[in-house]
Structure 1
Amino acid sequence: MRKSFALNTEPHVADIAGTELFFQPEVMGDDFLDAYVELRDGQKAKGIDLANLAEADPADVRKTTRALRLFLARQMLAESAELFLRLDVVKDGEALETFDDLDEAEAYAAKHQGARVVDALRLPTRVTVELLEWVVELYGGGGDRPTGSSSASATASRQAGKRGTGVSPSRVSTRTPGR
């Protein structure tokens, strides 16, 4: 008996309001798990309960958010990771300097009264969390797997051409007991 397995060769793309972030086609299991364990252990070490951020120290929350970005960037292609990790020190709406290290950016901002550190690619927290969930699904065993010779592959898409005139089963009204 012979079984063939396909590997993804094209990067996964996260399109965020027109900005595309490219993720590695495949990530080796141990690399992914090592990065995930680092993220989880870092969060636990800081004692941050993500379900109750109101009581957390804002500096710790910022570092946890940064750790999440670092984890996600480890799964990205280099150019996307660079954009995703870039930090700007901003004062009066103008970027003074750009960094990739949070501690360096914060030290620079501290020297310039009124300056603050912001992510170059600013995202709502919910989007960052959705990216995390998507990446865990991609590389952690679920999600979009490549199609090919594997017996678990999805069925082929319909061929292009004239659509049938039959009613889709999803549009047919069926009686359900108790309704």
Structure 2
Amino acid sequence: GEFNDWNPDATPLTSEGVSGIWEAFVPHVGHGAIYKYQIWSRLHGQVVQKADPFAIHAETSPKTGSVVWDLEYEWDDAGWMAERGRRNAADAPISIYEMHLGSWMRVPEDGNRSLSYREIAAKLADHIETTGFTHVELLPIMEHPFSGSWGYQTTGFFAPTSRFGTP
């Protein structure tokens, strides 16, 4: 990665046994550093660079690097969680609004760009309340290489797509 000038020999990984997981500890890697794994195939001797399948952030397509990211978020939903337990959701009415974040709403005065996660949150909450839906079902928001796939070509199962902002 950037932290070792992309030298594949500088940061060797060690296997975690039969789990298939390989790891390395790299001290002093900064928030936002880009990295990939370099893999040597035993089958054909090919060398390829791959994104971290457990990364929580990735570069925006068409780039494919994983990004070191520290989730500094403190949950503040104890009241909501307590109230949720007092309700019987199995007997409640349900009306599901299914949507794709990238095509739901655009900003024409800014190059027809998609909304950011924060912009979507405010507008979507208002829209759902106005229309009377009870639930929102998002089409895949995981990182993916091709926008036209609507997220169904997942490359980062733990990374929300960087198209709309950071984690």
TM-score band by shorter chain is under 0.3
TM-score, normalised to structure 1's length? 0.23
Structure with the larger strand share:
2
Structure with the larger helix share:
1
- The structure number with the bigger radius of gyration is 1
